[in-house]
Chain A
């Protein structure tokens, strides 16, 4: 069974631009979570989706948004990029409605110049 797939693997953007990251969960998994990982802040929870509904949201500004499609694939969008948005963005999936035993992808490394 294929793991969690995130695309693209690397991305370089400039301040003020917007970006969309994609995540394909493990087949059969209906819950997708997104995390931002930086050296200074560690792994910070962004949001969680289950069956196309946002179940949880972290403490990030409204520039960060996400959605989940009927096939459980998910996207997150960051508008008006800032230098501080440079980070590894990780997607994780799980079969049920809890965040137990999340399966993570390898992430998208976003660099904002």
Chain B
């Protein structure tokens, strides 16, 4: 079956440090991956995405790495700020299985000032 899970449920970092949030997926047919950020009382907010034919993609202060060999996805946040404190979800789409977005369980990131 398909599932997307996270290695660490919580992550605490010091302001200014880099954060790395990890995600494992089980279906090698996954086509597309997305990272979402959810702040308290809000819905998930799109951060960055990557297609399965890529292994790295960079955004503003964020980088997503995809290792298809070990079915691993990571989100790197540079110079983490208090405003980055939130729950981060990885999610995947498998187009030949309906194309719905499947979410992982989430990692809570806490940034200490």
Residues of A participating in the B interface, judged by any CB pair closer than 8 Å: 4, 33, 35, 42-45, 48, 55-56, 58, 90, 92, 98-107
- Once the chains bind, are B43 and A56 in contact (CB under 8 Å)? no
Give chain B interface residues in 39-58, CB to chain A under 8 Å. Answer: 41-46, 49
- Once the chains bind, are A99 and B49 in contact (CB under 8 Å)? no
Bound Cα distance A101, B101 (Å): 10
15 inter-chain pairs at a CB distance below 8 angstroms, sorted by A residue, are A4-B43, A42-B106, A43-B44, A45-B102, A55-B98, A55-B99, A56-B99, A58-B100, A90-B43, A99-B99, A99-B101, A101-B34, A102-B44, A104-B43, A105-B43
B43: A residues at CB distance < 8 A: 4, 90, 92, 104-107
- Once the chains bind, are A56 and B46 in contact (CB under 8 Å)? no
A44: B residues at CB distance < 8 A: 103
B42: A residues at CB distance < 8 A: 106
- Once the chains bind, are B103 and A98 in contact (CB under 8 Å)? no
Known A43-B103, A101-B34, A101-B49; contact A106-B93, beta-carbon cutoff 8 A? no
CB distance from B90 to the nearest CB of A (A): 11
**Which of chain B's residues has its CB closest to A48's CB?**
B100
B36: A residues at CB distance < 8 A: 104
- Once the chains bind, are B44 and A104 in contact (CB under 8 Å)? yes
Bound Cα distance A90, B41 (Å): 11
Bound Cα distance A45, B2 (Å): 13
